[in-house]
A and B are shown apart, each in its own frame.
Chain A
């Protein structure tokens, strides 16, 4: 009754092409943004910020990046944490060696460096796809793990191989408290989401989706595979690289050589499978799910009076991840985002039968 597009007529192309064509959606989104920017900083506790909201925001950014590649362009990668590592170490070295740079500039530069690395490891995708590409990206994972653990220059010759970062300061604004970190990350994420949304519904995003759906047909209608795939790798790695820099600087603060390992790569992949491949909203859902589930498993049984030992908890967690992935692949390959879409469809009719 309340959520429907009846009576909302479009009288210009711009109006027809806007991101949220239904008025109620726009109101909802505005309300959500207001709530996230203005209300949450006052409501949430430090614990909520540090262990849920901040990792959620960064992982969402990374999941969006991976989703652009896997969900939109159909090129699988099981080594994307490698590009997070590239972003993080690039940002670390930029801050270390060029301290006068604004952190936002550092972020963008780190993203570009990660994009270059992504394109390099994306080159095999021009000849191979599917399973072969999966192994090629695995090569990226192990090579980057090794590179940052062994080449001392990247870690500024620190004896243990781990690096630590100073507090970020931009134009006199120190990002030190959890609230400030949250607001900063939220701002970054909103900007990147809007950019991604517009990328996937423009020329380049359509090229990616055509590549994903059928590469031969895409080539026949004039999409160059080289261009489509390498841009997908570049943009995806850019996003993931920025996310990696944020993960290192804002969330971890200091990290060890193997902070960006295969497990993180697989977790990113799980986020987009559970959340929904080929959906930006799905990246949000998936990241939220992966961040919240361990905490949920940790807290809820304890509240119910049957605490689970930590070791069992982590095993249980991987069991649940595994089972859920198979479940989603079988029952709802488009993930949580599809459930959300179904809910919206239902809401359009509600409470009338037709």
Chain B
């Protein structure tokens, strides 16, 4: 096998960076593991949003900038509906709304723009983003809302035998990680085992060929956007229960962009692994690299997690443009 030195170097550098705080004794092992777990949990949430991106890009070649807003919209819908009905009913109703939304987007935005180049479609989804931002907040209100999943929030101390002081973990984090895992497994089954899933993969491979063997493109797109809406709903409910439902949710979801670059635009596995890498990477950078930078350059506070993910993705673009699991071919210049 041919060795890809730039990629190996970058990977090695990241690993060394990851190990450095432990190796130099800058952090206690217990605290280190806590940060690592915290990063993984954030990573799970990034993965969920990135999953929506990857699904839509795979099936329709649309880079859906609106995924973050869809997360916010779904979370708002659940939070507000749950005020009037039981949670499960609110979630079901919100799902119905997301399907209707998918249908509307296909009808009003995608169908007229079929065969346009990717950048025009990207800008169209930017328009959808703005529309949904405004629409969602007019319909559902723009305060901070809560979603209560009925899971205890207090942290639990585990492994206090292994590490001094033990590790604080949040029960809710574990539940969300499990939900994410179940969701991914379900999606994989759906894509691999059902007729609809096969049709989706056929469309992703080649639009024209799929159409010529009788797969209805328009319906497939509605399905894909609905699935993306469903993923957004799950992500929105989990995030909403942890951080509260508010406008900044759609901004945080922008982090999913570097995740899909890292993982590869079309890969479900890539979205998951990329999300975990970005989540851990930026948390580690914030906690361990941030103070070093602040001291060295006399900064007014850290906050490097705002851009670390993007810079990491940029580095990846330079050495491996197709991402970790992406298809080899990308539109090279």
Contacts and interface: CB of A to CB of B under 8 A. Distances in A.
Interface of A: 74, 76, 78, 124-132, 134-136, 138-139, 142-143, 145-146, 149-152, 161, 215, 225, 262, 266, 269-270, 273, 311-312, 314-326, 329-330, 333
Given A124-B318, A139-B313, A329-B120, A266 B331 contact: no
Contacts of A124: 314, 317-318
Given A319-B130, A325-B123, A326-B128, A150 B63 contact: no
Interface string B108-151: 11001100111110111011111111110110001000000000
B61 to A, nearest CB: 10
B289 interface: no
Nearest to B111: A330
7 contacts: A76-B119, A126-B333, A127-B333, A132-B317, A316-B138, A325-B124, A330-B113
Contacts of B216: none
Contacts of A215: 333
Contact of A329 (B63, B123, B137, B314): B123
Nearest to B258: A135
B303 interface: yes
B87 to A, nearest CB: 26
A151 B297 contact: yes
B127 A321 contact: yes
Given A136-B314, A139-B310, A329-B120, A128 B131 contact: no
Contacts of B307: 139, 142-143, 145-146
Given A130-B119, A132-B321, A269-B123, A326 B109 contact: yes
Contacts of A76: 119, 122
Given A128-B317, A128-B321, A149-B303, A326 B134 contact: no
B127 A152 contact: no
Given A161-B300, A322-B130, A131 B314 contact: no
Contacts of A317: 134
Interface residues of B, number: 53
A138 B306 CA distance: 11
B326 to A, nearest CB: 11
Interface in B241-273: 251, 254, 257-258, 261, 265
A326 B321 CA distance: 30
Contacts of B135: 315, 319
Contacts of A139: 258, 307, 310-311, 313-314
Q: Which of A128, A145, A316 has the most CB of B within 10 A?
A: A128
Contacts of B25: none
A326 B109 CA distance: 7
A318 B130 contact: yes
A145 B257 CA distance: 18
Contacts of B116: 329
B135 to A, nearest CB: 5
* A contact face: mostly helix, strand, loop, or mixed: helix
Contacts of B310: 135, 138-139, 142-143
Given A131-B63, A136-B314, A143-B307, A319 B131 contact: yes
B313 A151 contact: no
Interface of B: 63, 108-109, 112-113, 116-120, 122-124, 126-135, 137-138, 142, 251, 254, 257-258, 261, 265, 297-304, 306-307, 310-311, 313-314, 317-318, 321, 330-333
Contact of B132 (A146, A151, A322): A322
Contacts of A314: 134
Contacts of A161: 300
Contacts of A130: 117-119, 122, 331
Contacts of B122: 76, 130-131, 134
A73 B119 CA distance: 13
B254 A152 contact: no
Nearest to B120: A329
Contacts of B302: 150
A316 B333 CA distance: 40
B128 A322 contact: yes
Given A143-B307, A150-B300, A315 B134 contact: yes
Nearest to B131: A322
Contacts of A149: 300, 303
A145 B306 contact: yes
A146 B127 contact: no
Nearest to A76: B119
Contacts of B128: 322, 326
Contacts of A270: 126, 130
Nearest to A261: B251
A98 B331 CA distance: 46
Given A138-B310, A326-B108, A319 B127 contact: no
A333 B121 CA distance: 12
B120 A150 contact: no
A128 B258 contact: no
A325 B130 contact: yes
Contacts of B299: 150-152
Nearest to A318: B134
Given A131-B63, A152-B298, A329-B124, A319 B134 contact: yes
The 10 closest A-B CB pairs, nearest first, are A322-B131, A325-B127, A322-B130, A319-B134, A139-B310, A318-B134, A315-B134, A326-B127, A142-B307, A143-B307
A323 B332 contact: no
Contacts of A318: 130-131, 133-134
Nearest to B61: A131
B185 to A, nearest CB: 28
A289 to B, nearest CB: 14
B35 to A, nearest CB: 20
A328 to B, nearest CB: 9
Contact of B123 (A145, A150, A273): A273
B304 A146 contact: yes
Nearest to B251: A262
Contacts of A127: 317-318, 321, 332-333
Contact of A131 (B119, B129, B254): B119
B134 A152 contact: no
A136 B317 contact: yes
